[in-house]
Amino acid sequence: MPVISAPHAFNEGSLFVDLESIFGYRLFLKCEGFNFAGSIKLKAANEMVESAERDGRLTRDSVLVESSSGNLGVALSVIAASKGYRFLCVTDPRCNLSTKLLMEALGSRVHVVTDLDGNGGFLGTRLEYVRALCASDERYVWLSQYTNAGNWRAHFRTTAPEIAAHFPHLDVLFVGTGTAGTLMGCGRYFRAWHRPVRIVAVDSVGSVAFGGEPGRRMIPGLGMSMRPPLLDESYVDEVIRVEEADTIRTCHRMARRGFLFGGSTGSVVSAATDWLARHGTRDLTAVAIAPDLGERYLDTIYQSNWLQDLYGDRLLDSARLDATPWEEDSASRAPGRRRRP
């Protein structure tokens, strides 16, 4: 029984969901949403804060500032509240309302930039704002998740060994890419492992993280409007880009079976099931990483009006293909009957 006195002292690191009954493929999903920040970013935030404390960069007087589309902001809010630091999160209109409210409830301040950058995203604008703040007052400390080695080191030290401990015969790992911290930590760890592991990076269509054309992206988490400075493609075997429509369909499909995950989990699982459909799953051990849970996306991915406005009726109808028991013909349903995968 874990007993803690600081919120970042707990993280569920050994929970995996076997998705075979939903998708028909043996795919194990590592769930990273069970901690007090609700996402995998708690690990990166903790590592970066502790390293800044050790270096003497972070003192009682400091004001932490960070650019985040949400989850790192919440994670830093949790840690800042626990340790008594002030924290300002610079975000953009794609940050979910509940995420913003959560940061404020934890005592952080939130600044939302609204101007698009040259790539059609907000990252450039957010970074410009953070740089200007840091130049204006030396009390601001920017951990810079995009360049901080602590971001990938956290996953090298925790996420990857947790997977390795449960799946000693791992063959393929699917990792969503935002800053590339998770990808680089896992990629570096498994490169030096006792057997080869295929590292598949998952990105969203419209992201320029691995090159390609910039485009509209409405779901926070995955994808970047610049190349991630932490990214070293020599650790990546393959990149799969996922359309947001497929992300949403996959999220709804899992939700209809009781697993409410966030948007990037939908992307990662969509990429992984496509890959497994192409390669076959016989004798393969496949793991994907789910960075967070779905409650923060209730007013976006799981809300009909939002889906209809942005993606139209066709997506809405296909997302509903896996109907709830309410929508099934009750006469044809035997009690307790399960839907086929």
Ligand X SMILES: Cc1ncc(COP(=O)(O)O)c(C=O)c1O
Q: Contact residues for ligand X (CB under 6 A)?
A: 39-41, 71, 176-183, 221-222, 262, 264, 291-292
Report the nearest approach of ligand X to the CB of residue 180 (Å).
Answer: 5
Question: Per the structure block, which two tokens stand in for 221?
Answer: 């988490």
Report the nearest approach of ligand X to the CB of residue 279 (Å).
Answer: 24
Cα atoms in the 13 Å half-sphere on the side-chain side of 278? 6
At position 264, the amino acid (one-letter code) is S
Report the nearest approach of ligand X to the CB of residue 280 (Å).
Answer: 27
Closest to ligand X by CB, 266 vs 275, is 266
For the stretch 101-126, what's the b/e string if a residue is b when 16 or more beta carbons lie within 10 angstroms of its beta carbon? ebbeebebebeebeeebebebbbbbb
Closest to ligand X by CB, 224 vs 286, is 224
Report the nearest approach of ligand X to the CB of residue 138 (Å).
Answer: 27
Q: CA-to-CA distance for 201 and 185, rounded, in angstroms?
A: 12
Report the nearest approach of ligand X to the CB of residue 39 (Å).
Answer: 4
Report the nearest approach of ligand X to the CB of residue 336 (Å).
Answer: 34
Q: CA-to-CA distance for 223 and 20, rounded, in angstroms?
A: 27
Report the nearest approach of ligand X to the CB of residue 328 (Å).
Answer: 31
Tell me the C-alpha to C-alpha distance, in Å, between residue 114 and each of 103, 122, 165, 206, 207. Answer: 19, 7, 44, 19, 19
Closest to ligand X by CB, 179 vs 250, is 179
For the stretch 194-230, what's the b/e string if a residue is b when 16 or more beta carbons lie within 10 angstroms of its beta carbon? eeebbbbbbbbbbbbbbeeebbebbbbbbbbbbebeb
Using Cβ positions, the residue closest to ligand X within the complex turns out to be: 221
Closest to ligand X by CB, 122 vs 281, is 122
Closest to ligand X by CB, 45 vs 170, is 45
Q: What is the CA radius of gyration of the chain?
A: 20
Closest to ligand X by CB, 217 vs 249, is 217
Closest to ligand X by CB, 266 vs 281, is 266
